[in-house]
Copies of this chain bind each other. A is one copy, B any other.
Amino acid sequence: MSEQPPVPVFFLSDSTGISAETMGNALLLQFPDLHFERRLFPFIVTVEEARKVVAILDAAAAGPVTPLVFSTTAVTEVRQELHKSVCPLIDFFDLHLERVEGILGHKGVRLAARLHGMGDVRRYNARMAAVEYAIEHDDGQSLRALDKADVILIGPSRCGKTPTTMYLALQHGVFVANYPLVEEDFDDAELPRPVRALRERCFGLTTTPARLSQVRQERRPGSSYASLERCTYELRRAEALYRGHRIPTLDSSAKSVEEMSTVILQTFKQRS
């Protein structure tokens, strides 16, 4: 399989291409044995630009492997131009926009997304504020306004708190603080003082000792901090703490940040 030439994949969009990439990649995940070579053409907003892209697609179509082309363009003329390519086009808007229009009983504006600016401005600003908050409260750096957090991720150092925090902030506009469990916290059956009154918002991360040790080795090779023994101890104590205070928990070695973020959001939604 690996000797087959890669399949050229093109993502076309009149905006950033995020939707085309997300949906296209979700489909490509179903073909784990194939090799793909991805190229993005964002911001195709004029027929002229579409024509240039078609020339590139058609050149690629002359190669050994038929290219896959994923497209999300709302503007009818641009779309019509792109469809002139000899490549088969998988157009996520084509059929779906008409179906959505039918269900809603409303005509869509059929404008490139960028022309509406940032979509929901309030939601956008909330996301940006959440990123600021996340950075200020990363790794227990600031205890100021910890009670403004919607979620507080706790766990031993290098369990995956930071990327999960950033994902929740950036994609979902959730105010997340993350708070590391350290030496003195492991000796205590109580939660660390700054988060004690905020137990309801805490979410505990854990991982496997082997994985934690590996990640810590990269940072401080040969240290006792990175030793398997130390990692095993910290994780066991952290998990006991989570259990003792009925704090929901996830294993970051088994899940991506996207999956963890989804589970965390669902957990707090069901509670509230």
Contacts and interface: CB of A to CB of B under 8 A. Distances in A.
Most chain B beta carbons < 10 A, residue from A23, A114, A119: A23
Interface in A235-272: 256-259, 261-263, 265-266
B104 A34 contact: yes
A100 B257 CA distance: 27
Contacts of A160: 128
B30 A74 contact: yes
Interface stretch (A49-57, A91-99, A194-202, A223-231): A91-99
Contacts of A162: 131-132, 135
A111 B131 CA distance: 34
A257 B18 CA distance: 12
Nearest to A132: B162
A104 B31 CA distance: 9
Interface string A1-37: 0000001000000011111001101111111111000
A119 B29 contact: yes
A74 to B, nearest CB: 6
A119 to B, nearest CB: 6
Nearest to A26: B19
Contacts of A127: 163
Interface string A69-107: 000101000000000000010101101110110011010
Interface in A121-140: 124, 127-128, 131-132, 135, 138
Contact of A128 (B110, B119, B132, B257): B257
A109 B30 contact: yes
B68 A113 contact: no
B23 A19 contact: yes
A170 B171 CA distance: 10
A66 interface: yes
A68 B100 CA distance: 8
Nearest to A100: B27
A118 interface: yes
A23 B91 CA distance: 11
Contacts of A262: 16-18, 40, 42-43
A256 B30 contact: no
A221 interface: no
A166 interface: yes
Given A31-B106, A166-B166, 10 more contacts: A16-B259, A22-B22, A27-B93, A34-B106, A92-B96, A95-B95, A118-B256, A131-B166, A135-B166, A170-B170
25 contacts: A7-B104, A16-B262, A17-B262, A18-B22, A18-B258, A23-B23, A27-B93, A27-B96, A27-B100, A28-B100, A30-B97, A31-B100, A32-B109, A40-B265, A43-B262, A68-B103, A68-B104, A88-B99, A90-B99, A92-B92, A117-B256, A128-B257, A131-B166, A135-B166, A167-B170
